[in-house]
């Protein structure tokens, strides 16, 4: 009889943050590992105390309806992400599933027959448990669109109902905490109407992230903002709905409970190539600005790429939409900064939404190397704007202090170590920081099994 460390140990951190119910859900992507230099991002760059949930994007679905990896090293990355829960036991991780196979969503074939769904659900539950995720995020863009037939609206509802039922049963059978189920959903009314039975899916999902970005971009012929809070005075017709206020209001009207709705805060901006000397909102464009040096895909720039761009550009504020833009030469970008995050955080607090999601951690200045605003300047600012308590920085070992506990891990590799002065506790070292955990009452730490055991 022994108790494994980690989730089962109820380890007591020196300082453990508990956030009541507001969610701060952060997406990471498995392709960000391929960016050059300081842009390279892996789960090792995730701050375990920054977000309440981290969602690993992306897994996909095989031809025979099994949940599966995408990148060659996904399993290794799952492990390094899920190890963070030893450092912050309150952190939840989810695996996002979606993607494209030959330009078509693999969801279409999977949801088409009850037996396909059943096979997928069984494979998904086993895959998530094997890799120690706490749940799954559905990223289907979108039922009833891009080659998906109109019946997929109801089939998506069926999938969610069946998944939720299977997750509840699995939790009872295995005596584990039920897996979480979330979805990334469309922001525009025209898409929502075709894709979702809103009240049916929202009643089953644990939370829904409305993708409140990509409202405007280089596919249009004039400048417009990626993620405005409100319409601008130049918007007409359906463009009046291309803003966060319109999207969230519509989801609420359709019966989504506010406390399950998350709005997405983008840590990137959308770019345009200007065709005249005019640099404001609604001025002529023809396509995207040049690709960013790190993200290398024309049409958007990460926040850290924008930091470099604005160091000698003009930054403007679109007051009616509560968001900034920047222009230099023939390039224009509508983006988000700490000021717009503050305005959006205030707005969602008034609406009593369940929280926020962030797309993505890897677009923020995660290493603090570009913007001179510290690590994760946007997401840390968002945490503060939402009223989260400060992160437990007190456990960080200051290099100047001789305190034997806080400095225990200085120079030691990551891992678990006995506490020489108290066998009922043990140390965990993570990136040079020291965390003190306590075994359950009656147990002592044994280094041979790296676990708490009966004496």
Ligand X SMILES: *[C@@H]1O[C@H](CO)[C@@H](O)[C@H](O)[C@H]1NC(C)=O
Binding site for ligand X (CB under 6 A): 154, 157, 197, 200
Which one, 200 or 252, has the nearer CB to ligand X?
A: 200
The distance from CA 348 to its chain's CA centroid, rounded to whole angstroms, is: 17
Alpha-carbon distance values, 77 to 22, 57, 94, 125, 412 (Å): 27, 11, 13, 19, 22
SS3 (DSSP) at 239 = helix
Tokens coding 331: 């390039």
Which one, 161 or 342, has the nearer CB to ligand X?
A: 161
Which one, 186 or 289, has the nearer CB to ligand X?
A: 186
Contacts of 236 (CB under 8 A, 6+ apart): none
User: What's the alpha-carbon Rg for the chain, to the nearest Å?
Assistant: 23
Tokens coding 345: 């955080």
Least Cβ distance, residue 157 to ligand X (angstroms): 6
Contacts of 156 (CB under 8 A, 6+ apart): 107, 111, 140, 143, 195, 196, 201
Active site residue 141: yes
Least Cβ distance, residue 192 to ligand X (angstroms): 12
Q: Cβ-closest residue to ligand X? A: 200
Least Cβ distance, residue 64 to ligand X (angstroms): 28
Which one, 9 or 138, has the nearer CB to ligand X?
A: 138
Strands 433-438 and 425-430, how do they pair?
antiparallel
Least Cβ distance, residue 246 to ligand X (angstroms): 22
Tokens coding 162: 């069946």
Which one, 54 or 195, has the nearer CB to ligand X?
A: 195
Which one, 25 or 256, has the nearer CB to ligand X?
A: 256
Least Cβ distance, residue 200 to ligand X (angstroms): 3
Selecting among 115, 132, 141, 290, the annotated active-site residue is: 141
SS3 (DSSP) at 360 = coil
Least Cβ distance, residue 250 to ligand X (angstroms): 16
Least Cβ distance, residue 161 to ligand X (angstroms): 7
Least Cβ distance, residue 153 to ligand X (angstroms): 7
**Whole-number Å distance between alpha carbons of 216 and 225:** 5
Residue of 290, 245, 294, 265 lying closest to 377 (CA atoms): 265
H/E run at residue 357: strand 355-359
Alpha-carbon distance values, 8 to 48, 89, 177, 418, 428 (Å): 18, 10, 11, 18, 15
Which one, 163 or 452, has the nearer CB to ligand X?
A: 163
In the Cβ-directed half-sphere of 204, how many Cα atoms lie within 13 Å?
22
Which one, 78 or 196, has the nearer CB to ligand X?
A: 196
Q: Report whether the peptide linkage leading into residue 141 is cis, meaning its omega lies within 30 degrees of zero.
A: no
Residue of 319, 360, 382 lying closest to 213 (CA atoms): 360
**Whole-number Å distance between alpha carbons of 58 and 117:** 19
Tokens coding 379: 């997401």
In the Cβ-directed half-sphere of 188, how many Cα atoms lie within 13 Å?
15
Contacts of 128 (CB under 8 A, 6+ apart): 67, 95, 134, 135, 136, 179
- Which residues does the annotation mark as catalytic? 141
């Amino acid at each position: 009889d022994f108790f494994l460390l980690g989730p089962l140990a109820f380890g007591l951190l020196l300082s453990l943050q508990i956030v009541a119910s507001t969610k701060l859900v952060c997406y990471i992507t498995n392709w960000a590992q391929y960016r050059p230099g300081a842009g390279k991002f892996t789960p090792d760059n995730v701050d375990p105390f920054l977000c309440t949930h981290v969602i690993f994007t992306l897994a996909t679905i095989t031809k025979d309806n099994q949940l599966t990896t995408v990148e060659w090293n996904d399993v290794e990355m799952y492990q390094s992400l899920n190890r963070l829960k030893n450092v912050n036991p309150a952190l939840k991780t989810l695996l996002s599933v979606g993607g494209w196979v030959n330009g078509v969503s693999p969801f279409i074939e999977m949801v088409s027959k009850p037996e396909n769904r059943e096979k997928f659900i069984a494979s998904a539950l086993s895959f998530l448990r094997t890799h120690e995720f706490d749940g799954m995020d559905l990223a289907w863009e979108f039922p009833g669109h891009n080659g998906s037939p109109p019946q997929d609206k109801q089939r998506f509802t069926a999938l969610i109902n069946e998944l939720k039922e299977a997750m509840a049963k699995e939790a009872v059978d295995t005596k584990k905490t039920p897996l979480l189920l979330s979805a990334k959903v469309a922001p525009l009314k025209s898409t929502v109407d075709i894709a979702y039975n809103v009240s049916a899916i929202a009643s089953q999902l644990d939370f829904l992230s409305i993708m409140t970005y990509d409202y405007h971009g280089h596919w249009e012929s004039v400048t417009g903002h990626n993620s405005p809070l409100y319409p601008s005075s130049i918007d007409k017709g359906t463009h009046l709905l291309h803003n966060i206020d319109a999207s969230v209001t519509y989801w609420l009207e359709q019966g989504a409970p506010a406390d399950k709705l998350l709005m997405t805060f983008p840590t990137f901006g959308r770019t345009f190539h200007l065709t005249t000397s005019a640099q404001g909102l609604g001025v002529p464009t023809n396509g995207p600005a040049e690709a960013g040096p790190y993200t290398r895909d024309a049409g958007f720039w990460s926040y850290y790429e924008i930091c470099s761009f604005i160091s000698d550009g003009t930054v403007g504020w679109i007051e009616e939409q509560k968001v900034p833009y920047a222009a230099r030469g023939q390039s224009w970008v509508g983006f988000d900064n700490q000021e717009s995050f503050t305005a959006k955080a205030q707005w969602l607090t008034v609406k009593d939404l369940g929280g926020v999601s962030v797309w993505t951690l890897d677009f923020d200045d995660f290493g603090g190397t570009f913007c001179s605003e510290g690590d994760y300047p946007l997401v840390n600012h968002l945490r503060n704007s939402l009223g989260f308590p400060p992160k437990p920085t007190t456990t960080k070992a200051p290099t100047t202090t001789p305190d034997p506990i806080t400095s225990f891990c200085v120079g030691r590799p990551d891992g678990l170590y006995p506490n020489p002065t108290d066998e009922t506790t043990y140390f965990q070292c993570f990136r040079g920081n020291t965390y003190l955990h306590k075994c359950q009452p009656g147990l002592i730490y044994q280094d041979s099994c790296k676990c708490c055991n009966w004496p």
